């Protein structure tokens, strides 16, 4: 193995990486080599351009911390996260459409009593959120764990505002009742920019793109014998629904936030004063 040039190096590297033990590992290594070599052949970078590409990835790694995942952001902003999502979910059985997890989830939400207020800071209008969780055959799911998280009215998630995971704000988990219902109080979220002060932000600028996501509430729903659902509910009328920086919007996930008078909601919960109501029913695919 010597004297490689543009014509023979790709074949030599492919032969070298075929020695791995698992066939999936070999498939992955071969695809990386084929696509990476084709990318370089197409672009014919100068040495300086290649160093800048390596610097970009190095900086992306350096931006990662306990509260920031710049590589997920990169995957999201290049539409790769939604491509992986599309490959893995077809919603054939009428289950709720899926979308990106995003970088602000963490597995630490407290189980709270149904009806709790999850907004510990006062920005944004009051919002009542309610809905039901069902199986594809229509049966309500009792005891499903509904994890929710969303940004505040200034566009920040709690993890961005404090060290570690000390202050839960607009983030919680609930268990559905015996009719599959969940409900809680929060504050209306606004559209917000993804963190754009790092390498991904610079990339967006170079590409002439804005960094915004339309207003949404994240849901992760887990129940026995069902596929875990990772999705968001988007608010109708948001100016960024058609240009979400991470390509995450699907028609079936957009709902109208309704101005509701004091009184009983569709799911039978009592509002003590007028407020916005977000109602969404989820369908989990069979596991
Ligand atoms: C989010 O909605 O939290 C999010 C998703 C992808 C990238 C950045 C933020
Ligand atoms: Fe989000």
pTM: 0.92
- Report the alpha-carbon distance of residue 21 to residue 281 in Å, rounded: 46
**Looking at the structure, do residues 116 and 39 belong to the same domain, yes or no?**
no
Query: At 190, phi and psi to the nearest 5?
Result: -115, 165
Q: Which domain holds residue 37?
A: 1-44
The residue among 232, 219, 229, 220 whose CA lies nearest residue 287 is 229
Dihedral angle computed from the Cα positions of residues 231, 148, 70 and 158, in that order, rounded to the nearest 10 degrees: 160
Q: Is 198 a domain residue? A: no
- Report the alpha-carbon distance of residue 239 to residue 212 in Å, rounded: 10
**Looking at the structure, do residues 124 and 40 belong to the same domain, yes or no?**
no
Q: Is 78 a domain residue? A: no
**Looking at the structure, do residues 151 and 27 belong to the same domain, yes or no?**
no
Q: Is 50 a domain residue? A: no
**Looking at the structure, do residues 247 and 110 belong to the same domain, yes or no?**
yes
Distance from residue 82's CA to the centre of ligand 1 (Å)? 12
* Banded pLDDT at 154 (limits 50, 70, 90): confident
**Looking at the structure, do residues 155 and 253 belong to the same domain, yes or no?**
yes
CA of 218, closest atom in ligand 1: 2
Q: Is 49 a domain residue? A: no
Which range, of 18-22, 100-104, 161-165, 263-267, averages the lowest pLDDT? 161-165
| HSE toward the beta carbon, residue 36, CA cutoff 13 A | 13
**Looking at the structure, do residues 158 and 252 belong to the same domain, yes or no?**
yes
CA of 73, closest atom in ligand 1: 7
Q: Which of 44, 60, 76 is the last residue of a domain?
A: 44
Q: Give the residues surrounding ligand 1 with Cβ less than 6 Å away.
A: 73, 76, 100, 102-104, 194, 213, 246
* Banded pLDDT at 121 (limits 50, 70, 90): confident
CB 209 within 8 A of CB 245: yes
- CA-only gyration radius of the chain, Å: 23
Which range, of 18-32, 37-51, 100-114, 223-237, averages the lowest pLDDT? 100-114
219-252: per-residue pLDDT in tens? 999 999 999 999 999 999 999 999 999 999 999 9
Q: What's the N-to-C CA distance of the chain in angstroms?
A: 49
Task: Provide the number of structural domains found in the chain.
Answer: 2
- Report the alpha-carbon distance of residue 126 to residue 105 in Å, rounded: 23
Q: Is 60 a domain residue? A: no
**Looking at the structure, do residues 151 and 253 belong to the same domain, yes or no?**
yes
**Looking at the structure, do residues 170 and 235 belong to the same domain, yes or no?**
yes
The domain that contains 170 carries what CATH number?
2.60.130.10
């Amino acid at each position: 193995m010597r004297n490689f040039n543009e014509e023979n190096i790709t074949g030599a590297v492919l032969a070298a990486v075929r020695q791995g033990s698992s066939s999936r590992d070999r498939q992955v290594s071969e695809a990386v080599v084929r696509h990476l070599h084709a990318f370089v052949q197409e672009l014919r970078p100068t040495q300086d351009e290649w160093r800048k590409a390596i610097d970009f990835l190095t900086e992306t790694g350096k931006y990662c911390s306990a509260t920031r995942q710049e590589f997920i952001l990169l995957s999201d902003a290049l539409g790769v996260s939604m491509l992986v999502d599309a490959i893995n979910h077809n919603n054939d059985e009428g289950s709720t459409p899926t979308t990106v997890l995003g970088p602000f989830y963490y597995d630490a939400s407290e189980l709270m009593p149904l009806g709790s207020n999850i907004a510990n800071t006062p920005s944004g209008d009051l919002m009542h959120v309610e809905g039901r969780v069902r199986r594809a055959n229509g049966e309500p799911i009792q005891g499903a764990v509904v994890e929710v998280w969303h940004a505040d009215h200034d566009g920040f998630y709690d993890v961005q505002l404090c060290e570690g995971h000390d202050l839960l704000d607009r983030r919680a988990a609930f268990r559905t009742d015996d009719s599959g219902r969940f409900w809680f109080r929060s504050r209306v979220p606004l559209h917000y920019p993804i963190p754009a002060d790092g390498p991904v932000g610079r990339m967006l600028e170079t590409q002439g793109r804005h960094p915004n996501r339309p207003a949404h509430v994240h849901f992760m729903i887990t129940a026995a014998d069902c596929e875990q659902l990772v999705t968001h509910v988007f608010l109708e009328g948001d100016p960024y629904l058609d240009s979400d920086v991470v390509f995450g919007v699907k028609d079936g996930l957009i709902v109208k936030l309704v101005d509701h008078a004091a009184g009983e909601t569709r799911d039978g919960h009592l509002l003590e004063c007028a407020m916005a109501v977000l109602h969404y029913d989820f369908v989990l695919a069979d596991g």
